[in-house]
Amino acid sequence: MLSTGDYDAPNNLVKDYVCIKIVSPGSIANIGPGFDILGLSINNFKDTILVEAWPGNGEVIVESYGYNVPSGENNLAYYVVKAFLKKYDVIGVDIRIRIHKGVPPNSGLGSSGASGAGVAYGLFTIFRPSFLEKELLYIAGKGEEYVAGTPHYDNVAASLFGGIVLIDPLDMSVYKFRLSNPPRIVIVKPYINGLDKKTRYARQILPKQIDLKTHVVQTSLLSKLLLGIITNDLEILGKAINQDYIAEPYRSKLIPYYWEVKAIALRHGALGVNIAGAGPSIFMLVRDQEDAEYIAGIVRDYYYSKNIPVEVFITTPNPWGTRIVERCC
Ligand code: HSE
């Protein structure tokens, strides 16, 4: 673990100005049937976060740059910092967080998770460098709680640890997987009006209970998904991510032409298609770059033919997760 300067455990008093710069990637939560317990870290989108601390009176400053994300107390980072200071009784410091957003908010690509993960990682690195993973996860999840109303850890865990993560929500342990033959992932982000508090709403519309039959089918899909990961079998993985009985039936209604686009992608070679996190982005698992470019073009043309603005990206799993890139003091 990188040492970041003078700090005085157990009083947590920073003696000097300390600053670290962190990058934190976006992610795809749920990966189809793994509602709230599976996440996949992705390349192409990342937040760059400066965490600074100096001796002071407990002031917390949050500045956000890029996209339309508020600074100050309306930023989830504020709650992550406050939760950290309270839980670990950190006193006598001012903290400034500067977030340069690279993960688009309200997209389903783990924007809040990337920020929460990066901020939490920076704070632990400065004040409690011998942290446990679950402590880090808990604090990072405070940002998700602020944004979505309830905590969930799939995005923050994927951002923090990279690759594919499975979370045990009871004891907050995280199991990490890497694919030895990483696929390409096509991300389709259709433009939708009125996305304020989107994750909160997308969670509210889900059923509070599921019946036994649904449980059996969903568990089978989830097991298949894990088998696909463990055996590095993209065909099995694709089949598993392609179905979900908890979120997809309800959230698909919020995404224009979702089922049409899914059918088109599958017909043209996608291995599996589902909603990224709470949406509205759609993710498509494909074999290689050639397939990815072909499917990306077809889907883009389809949305344009319906006069719906859309952005399409080709990405890959990010194996690293949140990283310190610079000690900037
Ligand atoms: N698992 C969460 C959900 C992710 O689907 O609501 C939200 O980003």
Residue 127: inside a domain, yes or no?
yes
Residue 5: inside a domain, yes or no?
no
Q: Which residue of 30, 103, 244 sits with most ligand 1 atoms within 8 Å of its CB, as the best mutation to test the pocket?
A: 30
Residues 305 and 252 in one domain: yes
Residues 225 and 84 in one domain: no
Residue 35 Cα to ligand 1 middle (Å): 7
Q: Can you name the residues that pair with 173 across neighbouring β-strands?
A: 168
Residue 255 Cα to ligand 1 middle (Å): 15
Residue 23 Cα to ligand 1 middle (Å): 21
- Give the predicted TM-score (pTM) of the model: 0.93
Residue 58: inside a domain, yes or no?
yes
How does strand 282-286 pair with strand 272-275? antiparallel
Q: Which atom from ligand 1 is nearest to the alpha carbon of 247?
A: 5
Alpha-carbon span 105 to 110, nearest angstrom: 8
Residues 156 and 52 in one domain: yes
* Residue-number span of the structural domain to which 268 is assigned: 184-315
- In this prediction, residue 22 carries a pLDDT of 97
Q: Which atom from ligand 1 is nearest to the alpha carbon of 39?
A: 1
Q: Which atom from ligand 1 is nearest to the alpha carbon of 203?
A: 6
Which amino acids bring their CB within 6 angstroms of ligand 1? Answer: 29-30, 35-36, 152, 154-155, 199, 202-203, 247, 277-278
Q: Which atom from ligand 1 is nearest to the alpha carbon of 36?
A: 1
Q: Whose CA is closest to 256, among 236, 228, 289, 281?
A: 281
Residues 112 and 14 in one domain: yes
- In this prediction, residue 13 carries a pLDDT of 64
Alpha-carbon span 302 to 285, nearest angstrom: 18
Residue 290: inside a domain, yes or no?
yes
Residues 85 and 217 in one domain: no
Q: What is the DSSP letter of 317?
A: B
Residue 242: inside a domain, yes or no?
yes
Q: Is the peptide bond before 33 cis (omega within 30 degrees of 0)?
A: no
Per-position pLDDT tens, the chain of length 329 = 333 444 444 445 677 899 999 999 999 999 999 999 999 999 999 999 999 999 999 999 999 999 989 999 999 999 999 999 999 999 999 999 999 999 999 999 999 999 999 999 999 999 988 889 999 999 999 999 999 888 899 999 999 999 999 999 999 999 999 988 889 999 999 998 876 668 888 999 999 999 999 999 999 999 999 999 999 999 999 999 999 999 999 999 999 999 999 999 999 999 999 999 999 999 999 999 999 999 999 999 999 999 999 999 999 999 999 999 988 76
The tokens for 169 are 């929500």
The number of domains in the chain is 2
Residues 33 and 18 in one domain: yes
Residues 45 and 102 in one domain: yes
Report the CATH number at residue 167.
Answer: 3.30.230.10
The tokens for 194 are 């009125």
Report the CATH number at residue 286.
Answer: 3.30.70.890
Q: Which atom from ligand 1 is nearest to the alpha carbon of 30?
A: 1
Residues 195 and 97 in one domain: no
Residue 150: inside a domain, yes or no?
yes
- In this prediction, residue 313 carries a pLDDT of 97
Q: Which residue of 154, 166, 250, 283 sits with most ligand 1 atoms within 8 Å of its CB, as the best mutation to test the pocket?
A: 154
The tokens for 77 are 């980072």
Residues 76 and 191 in one domain: no
Residue 110: inside a domain, yes or no?
yes
Residues 172 and 23 in one domain: yes
Residues 132 and 169 in one domain: yes
Q: Which residue of 155, 165, 241 sits with most ligand 1 atoms within 8 Å of its CB, as the best mutation to test the pocket?
A: 155
- In this prediction, residue 129 carries a pLDDT of 86
Residue 2: inside a domain, yes or no?
no
Alpha-carbon span 317 to 168, nearest angstrom: 21
CA atoms in the 13 A half-sphere facing the CB of 66: 15
Q: Give the chain's largest Cα–Cα span.
A: 61
Q: Which atom from ligand 1 is nearest to the alpha carbon of 202?
A: 6
- In this prediction, residue 298 carries a pLDDT of 98
Residue 88 Cα to ligand 1 middle (Å): 27
Residues 173 and 29 in one domain: yes
Alpha-carbon span 255 to 62, nearest angstrom: 32
Residue nearest (by alpha carbon) to ligand 1 atom 1: 36
